[in-house]
Structure 1
């Protein structure tokens, strides 16, 4: 009788181990193998016809014509204030650097957008205080806004001014052209 008491648990144990192993072996994997094609070149299976080559050449020509290169930075200066260019296209960021403010210099940098050939409107104001921070950088990018009333690109195109309230530093001027930074065309569709 003691022989049966030992054989039965061992047999049941062996059967459970065999069932467990078969379940593990037969279980489907949740992973999937994906071919790495990042370094592979896609090649047409057929020979390139003259018509297809002409289309390739046309696309390449359009890409070269639309290639955008920003103007070189000029760093236009008025006292401790500088902007990086005299002309921008829509979508470019206007960089302002402020360096070496005196401890007593306090005021506002005011970006004025043109309303017409003689009038301007405040677009953005940046406070400064040389006692707290004698140097810092700032950038802005004019963007359409229904809430602020900037409905079309016409609200930004033209000659802008940068005024330094609270100082005697001369104004800076720059121009925003009607050109749009490639890839940002959708950002400048009318919103009002």
Structure 2
């Protein structure tokens, strides 16, 4: 009987010890976790501060000038996108069944011609003449037309060409004339400016001769 009582006492004592030890272990684990988290946060903040200080120290006047230049270019690009989105308003100019979509183009813009309701016997060529000087022109492109097909559209983009002797912007810019050979329709005139407003087209108009 005595041995049984002693055994129960020992068991109860062990259970009490377990109930005391478990909270202590949990508390220790919690302290360790909090310490690791705090260390990581502190370490991260220190690293970020170090990087920021290093960057600040490396921004020399020359670098700052470049940064300012980049910022200015970004702002100019935004203005460019605002002024040109590839769908500028058209102001169709007309001669008989022939229409040109604008009276003024920028470098890099395509010239769009629309032919509507040609007569069945009407046949000839649309000749685009670029200016050589105030009185003389040179044929840049001809587009044939035939009344068998009464309506159609076509476009082209004026460009530099060493083979054609079109070496620089000066050989494209100016007032062009459109002549409708084989008809009595009046000529049309349009202007190509010396400005590039189409994004990414600047290098296209560097001198080729």
Same fold (TM over 0.5): yes
Give 1:82 shift. Answer: 0.3
| 111, 115, 124: which one aligns with 1:94 | 111
Q: CA–CA distance in 2 between the matches of 1:154 and 1:58?
A: 28
Q: Secondary structure at the match of 2:158?
A: coil
Q: Secondary structure at the match of 1:88?
A: strand
Q: CA–CA distance in 2 between the matches of 1:190 and 1:57?
A: 29
Q: CA–CA distance in 2 between the matches of 1:124 and 1:175?
A: 16
1:117 aligns with 2:166: no
- Alpha-carbon RMSD: 2.4
1:151 aligns with 2:156: no
Give 1:60 shift. Answer: 3.6
1:173 aligns with 2:189: yes
Residue of structure 2 equivalent to 1:12: none
| 127, 133, 152: which one aligns with 2:144 | 127
User: Which protein is bigger by CA-based radius of gyration?
Assistant: 2
Q: Secondary structure at the match of 1:146?
A: coil
Structure 2 segments unaligned to the other structure (5+ residues): 1-47, 57-63
Structure having the larger proportion of residues in helix: 2
Q: CA–CA distance in 1 between the matches of 2:164 and 2:171?
A: 11
Residue of structure 1 equivalent to 2:75: 61
Residue of structure 2 equivalent to 1:138: 154
Distance change in 2, residues 1:118/1:60 (3 Å): same
Q: CA–CA distance in 2 between the matches of 1:114 and 1:158?
A: 6
Distance change in 2, residues 1:62/1:94 (3 Å): same
Q: Secondary structure at the match of 1:103?
A: coil
Give 1:72 shift. Answer: 1.3
Give 1:149 shift. Answer: 1.1
Cα deviation 1:103-126 (Å, max 9, x = unaligned): 010111000000111111111011
Give 1:139 shift. Answer: 0.5
Distance change in 2, residues 1:153/1:95 (3 Å): same
How many matched pairs? Answer: 146
Distance change in 2, residues 1:150/1:128 (3 Å): same
Structure 1 segments unaligned to the other structure (5+ residues): 1-44
Cα deviation 1:90-115 (Å, max 9, x = unaligned): 11000000010000101110000001
